[in-house]
Amino acid sequence: MKLPLPPFLPELRLAKYEKLPHLFYASSAEPYALRELESLQDDEVCEQLDRLELGYAPTGGHPMLLAEIASHYGAPIAAENVQTFPGAQTGIFSTLSSLLDRDDHAVVVSPCYPSLENLPAAICEATRVQLRYERQWEIDLDEIKAAFRANTKVLILNSPNAPTGSLISAETQEQLVEFARERGVWIFSDEVYRMLELDSAHRLPPIATIYEKGISLGVMSKPFGLGGLQIGWIACQNREILEATAQLKNYMAVCNSAVAEFHAVTALRNKAAIISSRRQICLSNMALLDDFFEKYADLFEWVRPKSGCVGFPKLKSKLSVEEFAQQLADGPGILVMPASVFDFPGNFFRIGFGRSTMPRSLERFTEWVDTHRHSL
C-alpha cells in the first residue's frame, strides 16, 4: 500500500541549508564526542566491545540495552516492555502503522514532529488539535475531548513539545490518562525531550509507566546529544502492540548497529552526568535569550519554553516569517525553521538553544536585526 505522505519539510529545509555557518534552528542538545563517551565506558561494556563480532545484532535490541532502557523508566517497565529501533522515526512509523487501520480515528496535538501528524492522516481520519499562542501553548482539554469520536483509537501527544518548548502539567497528564482509559484509547507520547526540563521539578512520569495503554517514545539524540548512534525505542506495558510493532520494524530495519547499542548502554549508565551538562548549556543560553527578548520586545515575543532545547518565537512584523527566514539564510547564513515547516499558521519560527554554538548564532542574529530594523 502506498501511503499518501507529504514531503518531510524540516529535513528538506535542513538538507538545503545544513552548510550554513549558524544553525540557530538546532533541535537537539550539544553533541557528545565519541572519545568523551568512550572515556565513560565501564569494564562490562569494554569487554563486550572487545569481543564484539560485527554480525547482526539481536533484532529487538541487545539484552543489556533493553535492561538499561527499562531501568531508565522504572516499574512497571521491564526489559520485555521495550522495543528498540534505529532512531525515533522508525519507531513512530512502526508503532502508528501497527496501531491504526483505515476505519480508525486519531487525535493529534499540533504543532509536532511532522510524522506524528502526517502518518496517521495517511492511514485514517485524523483530527488536529492545535496548541494556541494565546493559551501559552497549553493544551485545551475541552478541545481534545470534543475531538474524540466513537472510533478514536489513539491520542498522539508531544510533551515536552517541539517546536514550542511547552510542557503539560501533571494534573493535565492525569486527566488525559483518565479520559483515554474511560474510552479504551491508546496514548502515543513522544517524550524525546524528556529529561531536558529547564526546571527538573516539572518532569512528568513517562506515559508508559502510568497507563496500561500508554506508549512512550524515547531516543538518544535529543537529551543525550547522541543522534549519531541512531538508537530509539518505545516502552509499553502491553506486549501485544510491542510484538506487532516488532513485526513491522522487520520490514524496515532488522536490527540496530551492534556498536551503537553498547555506546547507548554507556550513555544510559551515565545519564545523570551527560544530561546535567546538556541542561546547563540550555540554561546558560536561556539567560541570553531572556535578555534578547526583553530588549527586542517590539519585534519579537515568545512563550518562554519550559522544557527541551527549542522555542517558537513570534515575529511582530509586516514581513512574513518565510521571507524573514530566507533573508537570514541568504544574508548572515543563519538557519531558523519557519512555522510553515510544521504546517502551522502564524508568524512563528523555531530556534534551538541546546548547543554551545548558540551564543555566536544569537550574536550574529542580533547584529542582523539591528542592521535591518527599519525593514522589519
The answer, yes or no, to whether residue 51 has pLDDT greater than 70, is yes
**pTM given for the model:** 0.96
The mean of the pLDDT values for the chain is 96
More confident residue, 106 or 253: 106
53-270 classified as CATH 3.40.50.300: no
User: Using alpha carbons only, how large is the chain's radius of gyration in Å?
Assistant: 21
Amino acid at 213: K
| Predicted local confidence at residue 2, as pLDDT | 59
What confidence tier does 281 reach under pLDDT thresholds 50, 70, 90? very high
223-260: b (≥16 Cβ within 10 Å) or e: bbbbbebbbbbbbbbbeebbebbbeebeeeeebbebeb
Residue reference for cell 524515547 = 218
pLDDT digits (tens, 9 = 90+) for 347-375: 999 999 999 999 999 999 999 999 999 88
Instruction: In whole angstroms, give the CA distance from residue 278 to residue 84.
Output: 24
Burial tier of 267 (Cβ tally within 10 Å: 0-12, 13-18, 19+) = buried
DSSP category for residue 172: H
Domain segments of the chain: what residues?
A: 9-33+272-368, 53-270
For residue 178, count CB atoms less than 10 angstroms from its CB and return exposed for 0-12, middle for 13-18, buried for 19 or more. Answer: exposed
Q: Which CATH architecture has domain 9-33+272-368?
A: Alpha-Beta Complex (3.90)
What average pLDDT does range 192-202 have in this prediction? 96
Using 50, 70 and 90 to split pLDDT, how confident is the model at 174? very high
Contact 78/70 with Cβ under 8 angstroms?
A: yes
Phi (first) and psi of residue 6, to 5 degrees? -75, 165
CA distances, 20 to each of 251, 273, 342 (Å): 36, 31, 21
Find all residues with CB under 8 Å of 250, minimum gap 6, and list them.
59
- Region 152-177: mean pLDDT is 97
Instruction: Report the DSSP pairing between strands 337-338 and 349-352.
Output: antiparallel
Residue 188 parent element (H or E): strand 186-190
Query: What count of other Cβ atoms lies within 10 Å of the Cβ of residue 8?
Result: 16
Q: Does the pLDDT value for residue 325 go beyond 70?
A: yes
| Residue 228 binned pLDDT confidence (cut-offs 50, 70, 90) | very high
| Closest by CA position to 216, among listed 231, 205, 224 | 205
pLDDT of residue 4: 80
* Per-residue model confidence (pLDDT) at position 374: 87
What are the pLDDT digits (tens) for 110-147? 999 999 999 999 999 999 999 999 999 999 999 999 99
Whether the pLDDT of residue 74 is over 80: the answer is yes
